[in-house]
Structure 1
Amino acid sequence: MDADAQEQEIAELTRLVREFSVERDWEQFHDPKSLVLALVGEVGELAELFQWIPADRAATEFGPEGRQRRAAEEMADVLVYLVRLADVLGVDLGAAARAKLADSRRRFPADELRGVAPHKA
């Protein structure tokens, strides 16, 4: 999927989430702080699925033959709250992600860090 198609996908998802909120008169509850807390809660629910799964079995456990659908539901919740937060704050999520990735490419050059997990000093 090219960048334009991705931007259109994010814009459409943003529209759908905003429409869902408006239809229920939930904008009153969607201040940035509340959305961040909801987002953290959903990330916690996703993390809980993986909590006691050994790292070497996680991909298999949550693959197509495993509990992938359940993980997908929690990932969708995370994405929906993130998209809503970006909408409320007026953040172009696609542009922000591309800018962050460009900065990360500069900070972590592949030819210097291939196969090395960077850490903060």
Structure 2
Amino acid sequence: MSTESRTSTGLDDLAGRLEAFVRERDWEQFHSPKNLSMALAGEAGELIEHFQWLTEERSRELSDAEREAVQAEIADVQIYLLLLARGLGIDVVQAANEKLTVNEQKYPVDKARGSARKYTDL
């Protein structure tokens, strides 16, 4: 099985479990794209807080407790992103692959390697 197939199956399984969780609690009524995108932004902000005042080096050297807290925030981001995508009929794996193809064209290796510049400045 290819990595993409395993990832798609894993996301599909997660989405099914997540949708059942939401349905059992009658939360679909609150899950408009507007509300989900706002919740996603809030969770991304909570993720950012863990790194806000760390140096570059320190951000790479999290303690076990810090890593667990970051992991929980990443999970929250993933949950809201998946709910939003599913609600809009977007396959996140396909969308990411398509975007990567676009980025490969915008950032050719010979121009972008080792550079943090935007594609318009390469």
1:12 match: 13
User: What corresponds to 1:109 in structure 2?
Assistant: 108
Which residues of structure 1 form unaligned runs of 5+? none
CA distance in 2, matches of 1:56, 1:117: 18
Q: 1:88 corresponds to which residue? A: 87
CA distance in 2, matches of 1:66, 1:108: 36
Tell me the residue number matched to 2:25: 24
The corresponding residue for 2:76 is 77
Secondary structure of the 1:50 match is coil
RMSD over aligned CA atoms reads 1.4
Query: Aligned AA for 1:31?
Result: S
TM-score by structure 1 length? 0.92
How many residues end up aligned between the 2 structures?
Answer: 119
Gaps of 5+ in 2: none
The one-letter amino acid paired with 2:37 is V
Q: Measure how far apart 1:112 and its partner are.
A: 1.8
2:101 maps to amino acid: A
TM-score where L is the length of structure 2: 0.91
Query: Which shifted more, 29-38 or 49-58?
Result: 49-58
In structure 1, how many angstroms separate the alpha carbons of the residues matched to 2:80 and 2:112?
A: 33
Deviations 1:8-62 (A, max 9, x none): 11111111111110010000000000000000000010011111111221010x2
Letter in 2 for 1:71: V
1:111: Cα distance to partner? 2.1
Residue in structure 1 matched with residue 45 of structure 2 by the alignment: 44
